[in-house]
Structure 1
């Protein structure tokens, strides 16, 4: 399978003998997650199932299993570095997550972000059914202006949280009818909403007006990112607010109008690099069509954001 292609894979411990299931599960999880410890309540006949959807950018796994405890120690963090985040969302059962002197008890309707870049303990009750969504670190650290473990419970029962849960469930239900660009595009939006949800949870005293301004600014920038003349002042005027209002709304989530415009332009280029409909466009063409002043300006910003050049992303995904 070419690198970057969307794939769906299913696995069940029912495919092996009962006495082999615990080791089978450990090897299976270790094949796509970083190094962890496993403690089983009944290792002689452990039962578990996974359905894994992934590209080179994101991974969504729905899993069901018997009671188990996962741990990631300081030594494992050092020996097998992994700065990426996982978003945990139980659909049944409960999960207790401990990290960075915080504890979150997750039940259906609550979720949490956990960093694999720091030690943690994750205790899962029997017959737990849950999603675990892998998110590249740069997709969280940049938008949230932070780099630290997160273990706070997030409410997925109403409002923005419910939208996030519905989108993850939609990705799962439509798993057999998605393409690589489609899976990545929806995953991008899920992460964006998760960051907004997490920041809002950390700052419940932020006036609702600023949150509304932020949401509308993001929609406007997404729709006009390719305009090379787009600026903070221009978007403020178009939306009927002062530039100061726009700046304050974005400041609360750790960004600025200029940074948001650049971020949306980079996402636009990335999506086009992954899409066959834009294969005829050179990197130079993509730069100008996405609001950048030159191919070199695009390449510099793109490498800083995604860790590789536009050309490397285009040919590395084939």
Structure 2
């Protein structure tokens, strides 16, 4: 399922604005200027996996702290990219200002505060935390990316294109672009850290994921084939994956499950669960159902109506 939507606020921030922001980003406490009607607008596009929101609003402070995390424990990470104005962010023990020309990726399943003193406009990209962390060398790291050039510029261009083309996209296409946007964000952050020695390993891990993603339906796919396709030894690839805290088996399983979830969410796809399992590289229905339930907390049969 893929949807687009919009909302405009002209009342107190505690009314429709807070509830709509919470629906999109996770439970939030919003504080605008006392006594003022809150002027803000939201335009979004979303699939069951990803969400992109372009927003503009008057001065406010948005808090997602222990009470909000307990009430709405969704595990997501969020890219914040200001177009106009300055964002002040507190997350993971860091305080930072983010200005136009920069993007920052923040874990939203950790206490987070985002504030701006004047009118601000930004684009947010919201992704499952598991997909972000599987690409990060350090879990829960706050990533900062310069979007004025290099891979950061490519990531920013991709994010802008998603917003511009929101009415013409479908769910599988939107998810495919978002998967690649995550790769660009992580690689862009690694490239911006000139002192990093882990960037080559991160690039290799991202390349492994892309290769597996493109061949996830091949039930015989294994680490040796992936390594050969990339021109590296299997031992070198396994070492890079170990540094990232994962294994080839986990990468192949996760990419197959991500593909299966996207297929089950597609209202135009009516194949049986056994056929979905085969299309996504699982040798048996039982193996697929067990892995899917472990990852997503429900069976494929339960997920299909829930995701559509």
What is the TM-score with the length of structure 1 in the denominator? 0.83
Q: Do residues 165 (structure 1) and 133 (structure 2) align?
A: no
2:293 to 297, 303, 314: 303
Q: Distance in 1 between matches of 2:284 and 2:102?
A: 44
Q: 1:29 to 1:234 in 2, by over 3 A?
A: closer
2:176 to 180, 185, 188: 185
- 1:158-216 CA deviation, whole Å, 9 max, x = no partner? 33222222222111101111223322332233234434445666795336654554344
Q: CA deviation at 1:86?
A: 2.1
Q: Do residues 233 (structure 1) and 224 (structure 2) align?
A: yes
Q: CA deviation at 1:76?
A: 3.2
Q: 1:36 to 1:256 in 2, by over 3 A?
A: same
Q: 2:4–2:46: 8 Å Cα contact kept in structure 1?
A: yes
Q: 1:103–1:152: 8 Å Cα contact kept in structure 2?
A: no
Q: Distance in 2 between matches of 1:192 and 1:306?
A: 22
Q: CA deviation at 1:295?
A: 1.0
Q: Distance in 2 between matches of 1:274 and 1:288?
A: 17
Q: RMSD over aligned Cα, in angstroms?
A: 2.8
Q: Distance in 1 between matches of 2:13 and 2:281?
A: 52
Q: Distance in 1 between matches of 2:189 and 2:296?
A: 22
Larger radius of gyration between Structure 1 and Structure 2: 1
Q: Distance in 2 between matches of 1:80 and 1:273?
A: 24
Unaligned ranges ≥5, structure 1: none
Q: Secondary structure at the match of 2:49?
A: coil
- 1:198-239 CA deviation, whole Å, 9 max, x = no partner? 566679533665455434433322222222222112222343
Q: Secondary structure at the match of 1:221?
A: helix
What is the TM-score with the length of structure 2 in the denominator? 0.86
Of 65-74 and 171-180, the range deviating more from structure 2: 65-74
Of 154-163 and 30-39, the range deviating more from structure 2: 30-39
Q: 1:51 to 1:135 in 2, by over 3 A?
A: same
Q: CA deviation at 1:102?
A: 0.6
Q: Distance in 2 between matches of 1:138 and 1:126?
A: 33
Partner of 1:10: 6
Q: 2:144–2:189: 8 Å Cα contact kept in structure 1?
A: no
Q: 1:11 to 1:224 in 2, by over 3 A?
A: closer
Q: Secondary structure at the match of 1:233?
A: helix
Partner of 1:250: 241
Aligned pairs for 1:106-117 within 5 A: 106-117=98-109
